[in-house]
Structure 1
Amino acid sequence: MTNLDEMLDLLHHEDRTSTRPLGDVRARVLEAASANVVPLRRRRVAPVAVAAAAAALVATGVLVVKANDAPSQAPPVAAESAVRPEVRLVSAAGALDDAADKIKTVDQPLAPGQYRLITEHGTYARGMIVGPSPDKGGTWAVELTSKTWIPADVTGEWLNRRTKDGEVKWLGGNVPQSEVPFKLDDTDTGERRGACGDFFPNARPKKVCGSTTDWDSPAFYASLPRDPAALYDWLRSSTGQRGSAPVSMFALATEILRAGHMPADLRAGWYRAIAKIDGVVLTPEKVTVDGRTGVGITLMDPRERLELVISPETGDFIGDRTIAGPENGYSWIPEGTVLKSVAITTAVVNSIG
């Protein structure tokens, strides 16, 4: 995969529940990590009509402020921002090790008729540029929720329900809002069912139930080692086509955590493997994502700061954020803007839907 816009679609929830096998998904994760830039999908403006275009997903902050009915020429609403933190180079490994120690060794089992419910909730931005220049455009934020019900027998029927929550928010731009109107993607909302989580049966390549390359499958997690050093080697080899860059390894590790399927006995070693990645640091401030507070584990570069958030009490993965750096590439996105923030919760429920 070479299309960076398509890669950012992966980083949103719709692709995590699609039929792509791990090899294809991994390539797209690494493409985005390698480029390490928040792309906006280009659309050209005709002399009379504004051409429609699908907007690529990037991320914004957890807090969603409902937009007012402002005229198209209204000044942009200030985007939510995160203070650029000081970091302590020696603390991330200790925090990850402590979180690993807090993880329960056994996940709650499912009784007959029960389902594991994975909820992904966050706010995401949709950005477009106008015409041939990358310097003209604007960005909106939308709050979305995706819920997936998984039966005890994972070969049975799964249910995925996606909803838009609240009103969209204008994050800013240097063109009138009317030139970059917000538009939901077809897969942002709706209800889909499928055996083994095959919610997009017409996608190619075909999803293979029970594949060891599918992040939705228990077989994938069972195939991984539990030793932190071996898991680190797995992350390094899996990102080899991108030079095993730390940002690629961190992005891949976070994406798999966000899938919400990782068993507790693997997650402890996974955290310790992340601690081995060069440049990983601990942010001194507590990080709150969707009302849940945890410790932030961070990897930074001039373009953006990647951050995963972990509960220090339970070792649970809370979610992740992406924050704009000083060289993020878009003049209307100030440094410190939270570009993506997603929270993941899991629960055992007695019925589907």
Structure 2
Amino acid sequence: MDAFERVREVNTGVSLTDERIAGARVRLLEGIDAGVVTARKRVSRRPMFLIAGAVAGVAAATATVVVVGQLTAPAPQAEAAPTFTPTPQPTPTAGEPFERATVGSVLESAAGATVSGGVPEAAPGQYLRVEHQTTQLVLYQPTGQYTQHNATRATATAAWVAPGTYVTYIPGDRSQEWVTVFEPKTSISQTFGPEGEALAAEWLGNALKERIVDRHVGGVDDGSDPQLGSDAYYAQIPRDPRQLLEWYRSSLAGDVLDHDSQVASMIIHELERNAAPSDLRAALLLALREMPNGRILGVDGSLVTLGFSFTWTSDQFDSWTETITVDTASGFVSASSRTLGSGGSLVPESLPNSSVVTSISVVDDAP
């Protein structure tokens, strides 16, 4: 099974059994479905495609403390600190020319702000509440090699966009109980194609109708050892940006068509999880500088959206684009998106396959 097949299997669960829901609810936190898991040497799971639409969904909006940036475009113990210190660089504000900044200077600014404590952290007895507002593009074709709801952009005859929400409560003491809340999906925000509206309604009718609250002590229950999110898990990850890249690359196993796209996806997903210590978040931001074809897509004050594009040789899809919106004043990653493939006239090229807008706050209680 090649890497594309693993990606394409993600959205197959429109008719969910109790057993499938139980297995998927934690994997949804990481954007991983059962068909997406690839063997890894040191990281037990890696995200390939956001599937919050299979179980998570939209709920009533809840207040947050941190202002959310909008998406303007779509092993062994490592050394304790990076081998070089990020130096904040001037970042253009709205209306200033993009050429006054580079992808590298943006990421260095964000890394420096992260090290200096720009993102709030929960104290023991408190929780960091991380809310993810997601969108999922469902691509439909009557028949296909995979499933009806996993068409490509070029082959889809109908499509729709489904918003969703899931919230993670990360305890200030990582050894305590973690809580993740998945809200049921309740709406469709866009449809495409003559049959799009009817097919979307049928798909939504098969979606999860109940709220899921998952509780697990000591981190995310994803089968990793050490457990994902725990202090021991993050202690094994290098803080030197170049060593960090090699650590991620060496974790990939099997038939991987393009290592850079996979590594970029894992880094961005770790940043939006908001569970990593500040020194590791800084290293993750600096490691992104090494990703190819990086460019600045938009600037809104201290919020900068970056894009990273990759060319694939798969006969199913030809491209993979990741975007990330980062606050250079705090290092907080407020949004990201992923676009797979090109072609077709049904869905606008600017519409990603998945996107996440993240907000955080420190609270005293969890559900």
TM-score (norm: length of structure 2): 0.65
Q: Look up the match of 1:186.
A: 208
The residue type equivalent to 2:212 in the other structure is: G
Q: Look up the match of 2:294.
A: 280
Alignment equivalent of 2:134, drawn from 113, 122, 128: 122
Listed one character per residue, the Cα deviations across residues 238-282 of structure 1 (whole Å, up to 9, x for unaligned) are 346526532222112112222221111111121111101222222
How many residues in Structure 1 have an aligned counterpart in Structure 2? Answer: 293
Alignment equivalent of 1:298, drawn from 296, 307, 317: 307
The residue type equivalent to 1:332 in the other structure is: L
Does the 8 Å contact 1:6/1:56 carry over to 2? no
The residue type equivalent to 1:253 in the other structure is: I
Please tell me the root mean square deviation across aligned C-alpha atoms, in Å: 4.2
Cα distance change of structure 1 residues 28 and 267 upon mapping to structure 2, 3 Å threshold = closer
> For the residues of structure 2 that align with 1:263 and 1:179, how far apart are their CA atoms?
43
Q: Look up the match of 1:328.
A: 342
Q: CA deviation at 1:174?
A: 4.9
Q: Look up the match of 1:196.
A: 218
Ranges in structure 2 where 5+ consecutive residues have no aligned partner: 13-23, 56-70, 75-96, 146-150, 311-317
SS of the residue corresponding to residue 275 of structure 1 reads helix
Q: CA deviation at 1:350?
A: 1.0
Cα distance change of structure 1 residues 316 and 109 upon mapping to structure 2, 3 Å threshold = closer
Q: Look up the match of 2:6.
A: 3
Cα distance change of structure 1 residues 310 and 336 upon mapping to structure 2, 3 Å threshold = same
Cα distance change of structure 1 residues 318 and 329 upon mapping to structure 2, 3 Å threshold = same
> For the residues of structure 1 that align with 2:251 and 2:281, how far apart are their CA atoms?
18
Alignment equivalent of 1:257, drawn from 263, 271, 275: 271
Listed one character per residue, the Cα deviations across residues 211-258 of structure 1 (whole Å, up to 9, x for unaligned) are 33x433232221111111211222332346526532222112112222
Aligned pairs for 1:29-40 (under 5 A) are: 29=46, 32=48
Q: Look up the match of 1:223.
A: 236
> For the residues of structure 2 that align with 1:165 and 1:19, how far apart are their CA atoms?
17
Cα distance change of structure 1 residues 296 and 313 upon mapping to structure 2, 3 Å threshold = same
> For the residues of structure 2 that align with 1:235 and 1:315, how far apart are their CA atoms?
21
Listed one character per residue, the Cα deviations across residues 155-201 of structure 1 (whole Å, up to 9, x for unaligned) are 333222122576312331353533452325439842222323556xx
> For the residues of structure 2 that align with 1:207 and 1:235, how far apart are their CA atoms?
18
The residue type equivalent to 1:93 in the other structure is: G
SS of the residue corresponding to residue 126 of structure 1 reads strand
Aligned pairs for 1:44-59 (under 5 A) are: none
Alignment equivalent of 1:101, drawn from 97, 108, 112: 112
Ranges in structure 1 where 5+ consecutive residues have no aligned partner: 40-53, 58-79, 200-205
Q: Look up the match of 1:310.
A: 326
TM-score (norm: length of structure 1): 0.67
> For the residues of structure 1 that align with 2:100 and 2:210, how far apart are their CA atoms?
39
The answer to whether residue 168 in structure 2 is matched with residue 148 in structure 1 is yes
The answer to whether residue 362 in structure 2 is matched with residue 348 in structure 1 is yes
SS of the residue corresponding to residue 338 of structure 1 reads coil
Listed one character per residue, the Cα deviations across residues 314-352 of structure 1 (whole Å, up to 9, x for unaligned) are 11111201246xx52554122222332212233221112
The residue type equivalent to 2:328 in the other structure is: P
Alignment equivalent of 2:157, drawn from 117, 137, 144: 137
Does the 8 Å contact 2:241/2:287 carry over to 1? yes
The answer to whether residue 108 in structure 2 is matched with residue 92 in structure 1 is no
Does the 8 Å contact 2:53/2:185 carry over to 1? no
* Identity, % of aligned positions: 19
The answer to whether residue 252 in structure 2 is matched with residue 232 in structure 1 is no
Cα distance change of structure 1 residues 300 and 313 upon mapping to structure 2, 3 Å threshold = same
Does the 8 Å contact 2:127/2:365 carry over to 1? yes
Q: CA deviation at 1:130?
A: 1.3
> For the residues of structure 2 that align with 1:56 and 1:165, how far apart are their CA atoms?
8
Does the 8 Å contact 1:18/1:198 carry over to 2? no
Q: CA deviation at 1:96?
A: 0.7
Q: CA deviation at 1:146?
A: 0.9
Q: CA deviation at 1:82?
A: 5.0
SS of the residue corresponding to residue 248 of structure 2 reads helix
The residue type equivalent to 1:100 in the other structure is: A
Does the 8 Å contact 1:258/1:319 carry over to 2? yes
Cα distance change of structure 1 residues 102 and 82 upon mapping to structure 2, 3 Å threshold = closer
> For the residues of structure 1 that align with 2:127 and 2:31, how far apart are their CA atoms?
17
